């Protein structure tokens, strides 16, 4: 379909000639006008031929982001996505066979998954594996107020990929679009014309990719929010392959830690397997940060190598934020200590042996925290486990109620965590609502069920902590004085009570 943009040049030339004739007609001298028009045209032509101004800016950024070579061996864990991606890339490598069998070339691969899991790294490694030129852009770079600008940038991005590949004498190019949901989100029926045009242009470019082209283009898109993508983008012939790049498991985490530890001197006692165990739920980016922060702690200690203590400090920092020098009053400190003891005593009750340390060191937003021993990676939770987690979260506010007769703002984060778990329980059919589709859940249903579950669990938490009220006073002194309380010391104190009460 040839639209107004196809004739853009002709319309512009026509308009300028009419304008020129009009200006001559009203008496403006023609010579200065013509010479300035020629100068503007020359500047524009020069800028275009060097990769473009305005509309070409994506291509320029893309060029500057070409990878320093990165292979699949440089990516830790992610064995499954790597294998799937390599299989898909066979289409680019075995070109002759594909042509002989009349197979439609693969045009798009979509990498989905949480932030920092290595999607960009995989795209770069794909370019290296297939000896392709790599150009990259982010979805947000195409979002503009003016209709047609985003679409122009898409056109330029593909043009840039082809030109660059030709210059580098390569026969394939990978166009990587990060945060593709920024342009490929569901269309809303014409309200946002600019947005629609950008997506349409991407679809047009992908449809225009043919197997017999001298330079074959493969588009790799990445998103953390696959559910937002327009179905037109996901149909066969566009993003044919979708690969989930998830958070790494324990073996994957250890592999990533090893890769990022290659250039750092490590103490002999360091066990990266232990660090991997303690970092359940961390992304590759967070693991990279742990290794980097550990090296910074080593430098601050003027140590020649990274020790296990530096690594433990780094995990706390990445998980909870930087240690803060917040001045708190004596009363605040005591309240925080009781709050944290509430979490810790509850944790020991439902999961004996689980507390590693209670700390009063302010980190990030938190004024104190409980460190738990690493657990086995698990991906399935029973109702009992989820209820235990909620009771541990509620332990802080219940402790404050027991000791001070009321709550403080320190429980906000705990409540958020507890209500998130309640939502998981409801959506997994573990509530009195039975099996219910999340969309069929009204606000009233949700609110009633949430209150019922939390009230019942608050009562159970109150019972456990009430029976341990005497322990708060004993442990508070140690925690406030020493700033930390080890799990072993906490357990020793709690067991003493149990043994004594059993004896009586």
Nearer to ligand ATP, 249 or 427 (CB): 249
Cα gap 181→234, rounded to integer Å: 12
Which entry of 84, 141, 254, 340 is annotated as an active-site residue? 340
The least distance separating ligand ATP from the CB of residue 262, rounded to whole angstroms, comes to 11
Cα gap 178→221, rounded to integer Å: 6
* Biggest alpha carbon–alpha carbon distance for the chain: 113
Of residues 55, 112, 119, 297, which one binds ligand ATP by CB under 6 A? 119
Instruction: Select the span of 113-121, 125-133, 227-235, 427-435 touching ligand ATP (CB under 6 A).
Output: 113-121
Assess 357 for contact with ligand ATP (CB under 6 A). Answer: no
Angle, alpha carbons 372-378-380 (nearest 5°):
125
DSSP state of 5: T
Assess 181 for contact with ligand ATP (CB under 6 A). Answer: no
Cα gap 437→427, rounded to integer Å: 7
Assess 318 for contact with ligand ATP (CB under 6 A). Answer: no
**CA-derived radius of gyration, the chain:** 30
Assess 120 for contact with ligand ATP (CB under 6 A). Answer: yes
Of residues 84, 160, 178, 348, which one binds ligand ATP by CB under 6 A? 178
**Reduced to 3 states, what is the DSSP secondary structure of residue 230?**
coil
Nearer to ligand ATP, 68 or 214 (CB): 68
The least distance separating ligand ATP from the CB of residue 150, rounded to whole angstroms, comes to 20
Over the window 237 to 276, marking each residue x when it contacts ligand ATP by CB under 6 A and - when it does not, the resulting string is: -------------------x--x-----------------
Nearest to 291 by CA among 272, 267, 319, 269: 272
CA 249 to chain centroid, in Å, comes to 16
Nearer to ligand ATP, 256 or 390 (CB): 256
Nearer to ligand ATP, 284 or 368 (CB): 284
Instruction: Select the span of 115-123, 127-135, 419-427, 440-448 touching ligand ATP (CB under 6 A).
Output: 115-123
Assess 115 for contact with ligand ATP (CB under 6 A). Answer: yes
Q: How far is CA 144 from CA 75, 128, 153, 192, 457, in A?
A: 34, 32, 10, 11, 49
Nearer to ligand ATP, 74 or 445 (CB): 74
Assess 279 for contact with ligand ATP (CB under 6 A). Answer: no
Cα gap 290→277, rounded to integer Å: 13
Contact 293, 318 (CB under 8 A): yes
Assess 117 for contact with ligand ATP (CB under 6 A). Answer: yes
Assess 284 for contact with ligand ATP (CB under 6 A). Answer: yes
340 is catalytic: yes
Assess 75 for contact with ligand ATP (CB under 6 A). Answer: yes
Nearer to ligand ATP, 226 or 448 (CB): 226
DSSP letters, 373-442, are PP--------HHHHHHHHHHHHHHHHHHHHHHSS--GGGHHHHHHHHHHHHHHHHTT-STT-S--GGG--
| Other CB atoms within 10 A of residue 64 CB | 8
Nearer to ligand ATP, 138 or 201 (CB): 138
The least distance separating ligand ATP from the CB of residue 372, rounded to whole angstroms, comes to 24
**Active-site positions?**
340
Contact residues: ligand ATP, CB under 6 A: 75-78, 115-121, 178, 222, 224, 256, 259, 284-285, 288
């Amino acid at each position: 379909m040839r639209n107004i943009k196809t004739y853009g040049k002709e319309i512009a030339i026509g308009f300028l000639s009419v304008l020129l004739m009009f200006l001559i007609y009203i008496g403006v001298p023609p010579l200065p006008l013509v010479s300035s028009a020629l100068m503007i045209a020359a500047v524009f032509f020069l800028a275009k031929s060097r990769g473009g101004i305005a509309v070409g800016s994506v291509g320029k950024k893309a060029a500057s982001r070409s990878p320093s070579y990165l292979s699949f061996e440089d990516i830790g864990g992610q064995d499954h996505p790597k294998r799937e991606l390599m299989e898909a890339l066979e289409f680019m490598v075995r070109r002759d066979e594909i042509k002989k069998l009349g197979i439609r070339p693969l045009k798009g691969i979509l990498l989905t998954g949480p932030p920092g899991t290595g999607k960009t790294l995989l795209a770069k490694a794909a370019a290296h594996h297939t000896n392709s030129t790599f150009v990259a852009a982010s979805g947000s770079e195409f979002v503009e107020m003016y209709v047609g600008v985003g679409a122009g940038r898409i056109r330029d991005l593909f043009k840039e990929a082809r030109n660059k590949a030709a210059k580098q004498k390569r026969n394939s190019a990978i166009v990587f679009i990060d945060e593709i949901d920024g342009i490929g989100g569901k269309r809303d029926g014409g309200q946002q014309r600019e947005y629609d045009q950008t997506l349409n242009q991407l679809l047009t470019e992908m449809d225009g990719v043919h197997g017999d082209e001298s330079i074959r283009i493969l588009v790799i898109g990445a998103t953390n929010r696959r559910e937002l993508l327009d179905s037109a983008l996901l149909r066969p012939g566009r993003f044919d392959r979708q690969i989930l790049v998830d958070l790494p498991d324990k073996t994957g985490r250890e592999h990533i830690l090893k890769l990022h530890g290659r250039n750092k001197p490590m103490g002999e006692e360091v066990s990266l397997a232990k660090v991997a165990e303690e970092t359940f739920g961390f992304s590759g980016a967070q693991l990279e940060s742990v290794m980097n922060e550990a090296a910074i702690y080593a430098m601050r200690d003027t140590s020649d190598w990274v020790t296990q203590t530096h690594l433990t400090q780094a995990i706390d920092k990445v998980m909870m934020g930087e240690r803060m020098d917040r001045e708190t009053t004596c009363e605040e400190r005591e309240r925080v200590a009781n709050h944290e003891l509430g979490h810790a005593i509850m944790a020991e009750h439902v999961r004996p042996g689980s507390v590693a340390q209670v700390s009063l060191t302010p980190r990030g937003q938190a004024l104190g925290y409980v460190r738990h021993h690493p657990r086995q990676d698990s991906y399935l939770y029973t109702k009992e486990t989820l209820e235990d987690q909620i009771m541990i979260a509620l332990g802080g506010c219940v402790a404050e109620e027991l000791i001070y007769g009321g709550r403080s703002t320190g429980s906000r984060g705990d409540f958020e965590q507890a209500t998130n778990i309640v939502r998981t329980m409801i959506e997994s059919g573990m509530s009195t609502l039975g099996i219910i589709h999340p969309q069929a859940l009204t606000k009233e249903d949700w609110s009633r069920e949430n209150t019922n579950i939390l009230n019942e669990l608050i009562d159970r938490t109150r019972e456990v902590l009430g029976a341990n009220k005497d322990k708060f006073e004993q442990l508070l002194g140690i925690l406030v004085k020493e700033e930390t309380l080890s799990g072993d010391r906490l357990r020793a104190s709690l067991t003493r009570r149990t043994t004594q009460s059993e004896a009586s």
